[in-house]
């Protein structure tokens, strides 16, 4: 039996064990809530995790899965992990763990096959490596997004303060985009000439 056939056979067991690995990263008190998949609106963490993991696993079994579709399926879960209190490695560790889950689940079958599936296993595991790299991209994207909120807030606040202090003026069209549209009046150093009228 090919590896894909074996993975299809044990699909639900593998996905469930993989899901348990995610759940185990949360405090025990949260286990009950996050494992309860009856109401996705009351349990966005658990329901997003199982949905993402199922989709990703199925995509890995398919031939010719593109990084884009994998990214789309993995994004919602990594997006959640990226704002929870995990280090980057903790947040993405579950992806690596899929290798172990698969090997544990297929332990007997792999032994029986006596090395004939080794190549297929290797190929499947390198797909998981790709998945990890995709996860890394998503995670960094999320963090950059959050930092941009913070940075924009500071930028806006600074700009408002400068406007309030009347030290800004519009630069006429100078034919270059290098100079920012708002620059300090008089280079920003001369406070003596600031008037209340603004111009």
Partner 1 sequence: MTIPREEMLKIDNTPPRKSWMEVPPDFSKGKFCYPSQIKALEYLKMPNPREWSPTDEDWKLPPNWQEIIHKGFKERLDKYRSLKVFMDVCVRCGACADKCHFFIGTGDPKNMPVLRAELLRSIYRNDFTLAGKILGKLAGARKLTTDVIKEWFSYFYQCTECRRCSVFCPYGIDTAEITMMARELLHLLGISIHWIMDPVSNCTRTGNHLGIQPQNFKEIIEFFCDDIEEITGKRIEPSFNRKGAEILFVTPSGDAFADPGTYSFMGYLMLFEAIGLDYTLSTYASEGGNFGLFTSSDMMKKLNAKMYHEAKRLGVKYIIGGECGHMWRVINQYMDTMNGPADFLEVPKSPITGTVFENAKSTKMVHIAEFTADLIKHNKLKLDPSRNDHLKVTFHDSCNPSRAMGLLEEPRYVIKNVCNHFYDMPANTIRENTFCCGSGSGLNTEEIMELRLRGGLPRANAVKHVHETFGVNMLACVCAIDRAVLPPLMNYWVPGVSVTGLHELVGNALILDGEIERTLNLRMEDLPGAEGEGNDDDE
CB 84 within 8 A of CB 61: no
Q: Between 104 and 190, whose beta carbon lies closer to partner 1?
A: 104
Q: Is 3 exposed, middle or buried (0-12, 13-18, 19+ CB in 10 A)?
A: buried
From residue 191, alpha-carbon distances to 39, 164, 185 in Å are 61, 13, 9
Q: What are phi and psi of 169, to 5 degrees?
A: -145, 155
Mask of contacts with partner 1, 38-57, x by CB under 8 A? -xxxxxxx--x---------
Helices 44-61/118-164 angle, 10° precision: 130
**Interface pick for partner 1 out of 8, 107, 119, 190 (rule CB under 8 A):** 107
Q: How far is the first Cα of the chain from the last one, in angstroms, to the nearest whole number?
A: 79
**Interface pick for partner 1 out of 2, 84, 191, 194 (rule CB under 8 A):** 84
77 near partner 1, rule: CB under 8 A: no
33 near partner 1, rule: CB under 8 A: yes
Restricting to residues 115-174, which ones interact with partner 1 according to CB under 8 A?
115, 118, 142, 145-146, 149-150, 153-154
**Interface pick for partner 1 out of 20, 66, 90, 191 (rule CB under 8 A):** 90
What whole-number distance in Å separates Cα of residue 194 and Cα of residue 165?
8
Q: What are phi and psi of 168, to 5 degrees?
A: -115, 150
**Interface pick for partner 1 out of 80, 113, 162, 183 (rule CB under 8 A):** 80
Q: Between 128 and 183, whose beta carbon lies closer to partner 1?
A: 128
Tokens representing 148 are: 């941009």
* Residue span binding partner 1 (CB under 8 A) among the ranges 60-68, 104-112, 165-173, 175-183: 104-112
Catalog residues that contact partner 1 under the rule CB under 8 A: 21, 24-30, 32-34, 39-45, 48, 79-80, 83-85, 89-90, 93, 96, 99-100, 103-104, 107, 110, 115, 118, 142, 145-146, 149-150, 153-154
């Amino acid at each position: 039996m090919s590896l894909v056939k074996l993975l299809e056979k044990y699909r639900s067991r593998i996905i469930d064990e993989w899901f348990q690995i995610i759940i185990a990263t949360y405090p025990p008190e949260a286990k009950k809530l996050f494992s309860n998949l009856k109401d996705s609106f009351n349990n966005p963490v658990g329901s997003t995790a199982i949905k993402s993991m199922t989709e990703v696993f199925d995509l890995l079994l398919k031939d010719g899965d593109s990084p884009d579709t994998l990214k789309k399926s993995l994004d919602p879960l990594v997006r959640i992990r990226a704002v929870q209190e995990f280090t980057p490695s903790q947040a993405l560790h579950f992806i690596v763990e899929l290798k172990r889950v698969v090997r544990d689940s297929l332990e007997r079958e792999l032994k029986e096959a006596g090395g004939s599936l080794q190549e297929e296993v290797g190929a499947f595991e390198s797909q998981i490596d790709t998945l990890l790299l995709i996860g890394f991209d998503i995670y960094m994207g999320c963090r950059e997004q959050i930092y941009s909120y913070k940075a924009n807030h500071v930028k806006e606040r600074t700009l408002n303060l400068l406007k309030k202090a009347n030290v800004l003026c519009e630069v006429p069209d100078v034919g270059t985009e290098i100079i920012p549209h708002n620059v300090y009046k008089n280079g920003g150093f001369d406070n003596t000439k600031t008037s209340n009228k603004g111009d």
